[in-house]
A and B are shown apart, each in its own frame.
Chain A
Amino acid sequence: MKKITLNKHLYRQSIFYSIEKGVAPEKIFNTVNNVPDLSDFPFPLPCEKSRYCCCDKSDNGVLWLGSDCGVTRIDPDAEFDFDRVMYFSADRDLPDNNVKAVAADGEGAWVLTETGITHIEMVMLSPEDVAAKLLDETLSIVERQGMVSQRYLAKAGELDTALPHANSDNDGGFTALFSIAEIMRYACYKKEFGTESEKTREAKAVAVKALEACLLLMYIHGRGDGFIARTYLFDGEPVPDDGFFFKRQGNKAVCVANSESVEKGVVGAVSDCSAEVPERLRYLYEDKGKTLDDIIYKADTSSDEVTIQLLNCLFAHKYLTEDEPELDNLIKESVKGIVNHIIDNGFVLKDFHGGPTTWARWDNDYFNGQVEGWADAPLNAAEILFYLKTVMEITGEKGKWLQTYESLINEHGYADLTEKHFDRLYQMCLALGVDYQSEIMYGDHMLATCSFFGLCTMEKDEKLLRKYRKGYEAWRSSIGPEHNPGYDFLYALANPDDDIDMERIREWFLRFNLSRLASGVSLIGRHDVAVKELRDNYNQISVLLPPDERFISKYDRDPLRYTNVDSGGNMCVESCFVYTFAYWIGRYFGFIE
């Protein structure tokens, strides 16, 4: 196994001030244009050379260059290539890009721009410090009732304007990834410091709460049939405009009105909610002074939530609940409930209307019906096989699970189907006359990772294992270029003979952002990246930039997209799991030293 050592490193952090005397050193107001001759500079620069207008050099030889398109930091003695030239731009690093003056300040710099003064701090931290800092931000701002996905802001770029409620509608999957990260943090600390250390206990508490928040989604709807809700709100919070939301009242839950439910004509639809919520999980809403009648849950759950929740359960069972029999038992019952639901309903997730939800189908009719189902089949086949392996692994039972698993493989060819992802997606793109890169569903990368990691690590039959590994490889043409350690570590565990690029992973960790505030950068117009024009105005860049020079998003976006801001906008703060998931898995399994 390849390993990297991640030492302490300088991470960027900007603090903004208004333009007034006394905030910054006086010299920034008296700067002179002293830009060195860059005509033979042998590395790409983010701005055209003619646009640099001011410069200052730090005591350790680092050059800070200002321009009308942001700030460039050049460290000729940088240990790593990726640190030699750094770019700082609006909105994340600067209030605007029109730099008037720069003044080096220790490892960082003061920057005077058209509209403000910025102190760029270069903070020396270890990657574990970064994980802790990001976790702290998530727990203090993003988390609600144990769930984390993102928190909306009243004002872009300002964390202290976080809204008291969150209106994210897909907490389940994202919280499950957060939960896995915290489970692995706990597992690392347990291995390194023992169960009794304060760090271990604190990590366990966070992990347990996240896990319980995920488990609650399997019961909060009160249907008692193994369904999973996407998320839930409290009565009085704004109901998002997409998806179907059900307000609980006694033993009935009624679909509330929003644009989607009105359009689909399901306002007032009723669903049973008489099943009980396990006592252990009730504190998550009761501690907020709420009862079940205050709950509005979201239905129409996708396969996404099911898949990631099951990987979460698998990790919890293996690494968290060894000395928590009650919780482990709850995991077992929950997993059995969901998989039973799927089998009993003909391999779909059945919703309030008696039919399948929009995107949770693993049945042959779907696979052989519409174009979407035909293209989804390889992933969804892997998902259902993964669910069955998972329930067997967690419960130790075979019976129905094994019988179904073998039936899907031998009678319906599901294992063979898992190999066809690239073939089908690529064919669809050729048929439609679109570019493959623009048709990739980036959110599917995590679903494929969960499913194939699970299958490849649990399956012992060599023939099936070869198929699953081949199926996993079929995703690498789109997952590989992301160089995301969260994907790559799990892939390396599942395919030990394949290479992953540890130097790119080092860059990913050492150039991560210290906040998940969804502010944008100035990618459009950068001089040092080539743009690739695809059809339908979908443009990419030709190189994966370090995370601190691209927009912030979850796992589900194209990191090469030629855009300044995530399509989700910049009015939110994301959760930390993108980093912590990769970091703690990498550390636990020995990729990171």
Chain B
Amino acid sequence: MDNKIHLIGNAHLDPTWLWKKQEGCAEVLQTFQSAADRLKEYDGFVFTCSSACYYMWVEELKPELFEEIKKYVAEGRWVPVNGWWVQPDCNMPSAESFARQALYSQLYYYEKFGIICKTGYNVDSFGHCAMIPQFVKKSGMDCYVMMRPNKNENGDIPQGLFWWDSPDGSRVLVFHIPDTYAANGIDDINRSLNTIRELSEKNDCSSMLFYGVGNHGGGPTKGDIEYLKSIISKDDSIRFSSPDEYFREVLNRPLDIPAWSEEMQHHASGCYSATSRIKQLNRKAENALTNAEKWNTVSDALGLSAGNTAGFKNAWLNVCYNQFHDILCGCSIREAYDDAFAEMSSATAFAGKARTDALLRITDKIDTWIDGVSDSVSFNERHYCNNPEFPKPVAVFNPLSYPVRTAVRVYHPSRRVTDCDGNDTVFSNVRSSRSNDSHLDTVFYADLPPLGYSVYWLWNLTDSDEVTVNSSDISVNGLTIENRYLKVTFDEKTGGIASIINKADNREHLSRVSFVPQIIDDSATDTWAHNVFKFDKVISDADLDSVKVVERSGVRAVVRVKHRYKNSYISQDYILESESEVIRSKVRILWQEPLTIVKLPVSVQGDNPQAAYEIPGGFIYRKCNGYEEPALTWADVTAGDCGVSVISDAKYSYDCKGNTLRMTAVRNSIFADHYSDRPDADFEYCDEGLQRFEYAVYPHAGNIENSRVQYYADLLNNKPVTVPAGYHKGEFSRRTSFIHIDKDNIRLMAFKKCEDGGAGYIIRLAETAGKSVKVSVVCNIINAGFYADFRPFEIKTFRIDENGYALETDFLEGTVK
């Protein structure tokens, strides 16, 4: 076969890593100028560069250079690749984040260059989840270039060219770089050339060689180009090229290449737990933006305010940037996180304001009027709704597309709580976080419609009042707490959970005491944990300080467990709520132990364990071999028909060996430590200090596909919001849903205005259980109602026009023609 070698001149740029963002930005400007100069000097030279963010920086800061680049793009000599904002980590961002990476980037390329990228390109990202083919295809691209893990880390993944399929049926053509994305200098290029020649011969297929100074930018040097020109002059099978051109060439000859239908792991197994804070901020920002945009869009559709696509775009771009693999993976320098934390927090702050604005506008239109309430005479009664004769209305909003039944909190005590129809609902006055006034908050059970709200009425508690006591399913006996679904017993010696009986199958789900914090020695690895795939050097369990029941009420029972290890502590409030199938833990950790890991293990009862993990856009089964694995909101171990899921609102890393699943809560590495010789210095550690997060334990009968794990995971991560309302007449009823989806394995990922400024709306839906399904979707506020078929884990984006007609499109919203 007449195989070719395509020389890909590129500059791998880490915009943040061992330097701060400002330096990365400066390096982009320098590298782009250098590339433009080389293009001017050398006919035939072609330059390839990823990441829309870099182009935007150049456009803003060096507009004259940007104009030059546009000219080269039009000539096909400067080839933008990867229609995403940066080269993100490809395991931890949510599916919606990948959609936004594509949306804002491809539309940017389309606007500036009149093209979109056709090749996905994440050469440095540390691993690639199984859903990447779907994300790449729905970003408008057909092909993909990656490098990690290499053949020593995972020899099963084909080298060179292969097909890659995701579970929804999407397929991309992949080139797996066999050695480096940045060959430079004669020796390095020669070595790489030999590797590529061997690969071409072995696969009987053309290949790509990537050259140019990288990581801190740089790109092809004059020396590199001169040397390669000399090689080209002697060998016409070698040419300056681009990934787009390479894929065009190979697609036009008969291919006989392998197909791969799994994820691509592992390269840096420590990166899914290092620097907990950036990960928690990522989760919070993603959820905050997604939920806020839903409410902003509802408000727009109701005519209460205009959709703010520009504001959400700016906020999302902060998130997209900080999903860059060296940032989100926790392996940049500490100082770089000053920028990252600020930008992630800024996105969350924007979302908070947008959500509050929208919910207050909607709440203001709800009819909460009670005849006679205006007769109040005192300022206190009128202004603070503190008239004991009249209950205070509270609108509770559910951002999920499922109906939700859960406990919610308001920061005042009550003597009674009633729902929108006047029925009493289960509530309790519980200890507040403040030490001011009554010290009591109200926690009550709310039934909430999908993407909607329901009004509840809180009756003021005065000193002379008797509190209404509702019967509930909560009971406490010693260190055993139970409700109608679960009976949970704590071990007084270790503070762990000794028993969970799931009343659905009346079976013990644990095979040993679980959730006793386990301390792991992590001193022999670096921040990435290069070449280490298991964290199994257990030092000890944490010592128990105390375990006691601290709350028992109609709504919930709470057991507080405190553990200690050296100068650190772990405090957990285990909360079992009425009518809940999960027990939730609010965790507070103050950690000060260098080069250690804290894991929370759970061991399930039964044989033939299987471990499943949520990944972006779906879930995946992996071997129970003790490897550290990335996951999104949950991981699960099921043995036979007995399973336990661990759901978190902040964590991304787990392992499972045999029947024991362990969530990694803390990984206290040195910042950006690459097997350094660790000179005697006062290092800072990336998980040092106080962190708060929550996790939930969900025991279930039967397999994960038929469980409610995604419901509880979504609920833990997207809690209902309570909005105290005033008394007013209004056109909205006291209970309303803004969307109806008739299958519980279909999740609303996004509800937004079209990005192109048109009158339309975007509804993005995802299948979550790995099952094909036909679904009906109705959103009356935009006059839309349609059916759609979904394949397992398929994501579909629908553009709704002003008359409610639906067009199925992709992440690019039908804007690119």
Whether the pair A42, B789 counts as a contact (CB closer than 8 A) is no
Whether the pair A49, B783 counts as a contact (CB closer than 8 A) is yes
Q: Give which listed residue, B171, B254, B778, contacts A42 with CB less than 8 A.
A: B778
Q: Give which listed residue, A39, A426, A544, contacts B774 with CB less than 8 A.
A: A544
Q: Mark A524-538, 1 if CB is under 8 A from B, else 0.
A: 000111111100000
Q: Tell me whether A123 is interfacial, beta carbon within 8 Å.
A: no
Q: Do A48 and B806 form a contact, CB below 8 Å, given A423-B259, A529-B786, A543-B774?
A: no
Q: Tell me whether A251 is interfacial, beta carbon within 8 Å.
A: no
Q: Tell me whether A477 is interfacial, beta carbon within 8 Å.
A: yes
Q: Number of A residues whose C-beta is below 8 Å from B? A: 34
Q: Give A416's nearest chain B residue, CB to CB.
A: B256
Select the stretch in B146-154, B642-650, B797-805 that faces chain A: B797-805
Q: Give B788's nearest chain A residue, CB to CB.
A: A542
Whether the pair A530, B798 counts as a contact (CB closer than 8 A) is yes
Give every chain B residue within 8 A of A545 (Cβ-Cβ). 787
Residue picked from B774, B809, B814, most chain A C-beta under 10 Å: B774
Q: Mark A34-62, 1 if CB is under 8 A from B, else 0.
A: 00000111111100110000000000000
Q: CA A529 – CA B804 in complex, angstroms? A: 11
Q: Give B252's nearest chain A residue, CB to CB.
A: A431
Give every chain B residue within 8 A of A497 (Cβ-Cβ). none
Q: Give which listed residue, B255, B772, B776, contacts A427 with CB less than 8 A.
A: B255
Whether the pair A43, B783 counts as a contact (CB closer than 8 A) is no
Q: CA A48 – CA B171 in complex, angstroms? A: 36
Q: CA A41 – CA B777 in complex, angstroms? A: 11
Whether the pair B251, A431 counts as a contact (CB closer than 8 A) is yes
Q: Mark B777-817, 1 if CB is under 8 A from A, else 0.
A: 11010010111110100001010000111111100001000
Give every chain A residue within 8 A of B808 (Cβ-Cβ). 530-532, 542
A252 CB, nearest partner CB in chain B, Å: 43
Give every chain A residue within 8 A of B786 (Cβ-Cβ). 44, 527-530, 542-543
Whether the pair B804, A527 counts as a contact (CB closer than 8 A) is yes
A300 CB, nearest partner CB in chain B, Å: 27
B736 CB, nearest partner CB in chain A, Å: 9
Q: Mark A293-306, 1 if CB is under 8 A from B, else 0.
A: 00000000000000
Q: Tell me whether B142 is interfacial, beta carbon within 8 Å.
A: yes
Q: CA A237 – CA B254 in complex, angstroms? A: 46
Whether the pair B255, A530 counts as a contact (CB closer than 8 A) is no
Q: Number of B residues whose C-beta is below 8 Å from A? A: 37
Whether the pair B789, A542 counts as a contact (CB closer than 8 A) is yes
Q: CA A41 – CA B804 in complex, angstroms? A: 14
| Docked complex: A15-49 residues within 8 A CB-CB of B | 39-45, 48-49
A203 CB, nearest partner CB in chain B, Å: 35
Give every chain B residue within 8 A of A420 (Cβ-Cβ). 256
Whether the pair B804, A427 counts as a contact (CB closer than 8 A) is no
Q: Tell me whether B163 is interfacial, beta carbon within 8 Å.
A: yes
Q: CA A427 – CA B142 in complex, angstroms? A: 10
Whether the pair A544, B789 counts as a contact (CB closer than 8 A) is yes
Give every chain A residue within 8 A of B805 (Cβ-Cβ). 527, 531
Q: Give which listed residue, B255, B259, B788, B804, contacts A543 with CB less than 8 A.
A: B788
Q: Give B143's nearest chain A residue, CB to CB.
A: A430
Give every chain A residue within 8 A of B809 (Cβ-Cβ). 532-533
Give every chain A residue within 8 A of B536 (Cβ-Cβ). none
Whether the pair A533, B774 counts as a contact (CB closer than 8 A) is no
Q: How many A-B residue pairs have CB under 8 A?
A: 91
Q: Mark B130-149, 1 if CB is under 8 A from A, else 0.
A: 00000000000010000000
Give every chain B residue within 8 A of A543 (Cβ-Cβ). 774, 786-789
Q: Mark A412-428, 1 if CB is under 8 A from B, else 0.
A: 00000000101100110
Q: Give which listed residue, A49, A81, A422, A530, contacts B806 with CB less than 8 A.
A: A530
Whether the pair A430, B783 counts as a contact (CB closer than 8 A) is no
Q: Tell me whether A192 is interfacial, beta carbon within 8 Å.
A: no
Q: Tell me whether B173 is interfacial, beta carbon within 8 Å.
A: yes
Q: Tell me whether A374 is interfacial, beta carbon within 8 Å.
A: yes
Give every chain A residue within 8 A of B806 (Cβ-Cβ). 529-531, 542
Q: Give B807's nearest chain A residue, CB to CB.
A: A531
| Docked complex: A503-561 residues within 8 A CB-CB of B | 504, 527-533, 542-545
Q: Tell me whether A501 is interfacial, beta carbon within 8 Å.
A: yes
Give every chain A residue within 8 A of B789 (Cβ-Cβ). 481, 542-544
Q: CA A504 – CA B773 in complex, angstroms? A: 9
Q: Give A419's nearest chain B residue, CB to CB.
A: B259
A37 CB, nearest partner CB in chain B, Å: 11
Q: Tell me whether B742 is interfacial, beta carbon within 8 Å.
A: yes
Q: Tell me whether B303 is interfacial, beta carbon within 8 Å.
A: no
Q: CA A580 – CA B584 in complex, angstroms? A: 55
6 A-B pairs (CB sep. < 8 Å): A43-B740, A423-B163, A423-B257, A530-B787, A530-B806, A544-B774
By Cβ-Cβ distance, the 4 closest A-B pairs, closest first, are A44-B785, A530-B806, A543-B787, A431-B251
Known: A430-B142, A532-B807. 14 other contacts (CB 8 A): A40-B780, A41-B778, A44-B786, A426-B163, A430-B251, A431-B251, A504-B774, A528-B787, A529-B786, A530-B787, A530-B798, A531-B806, A542-B786, A542-B798
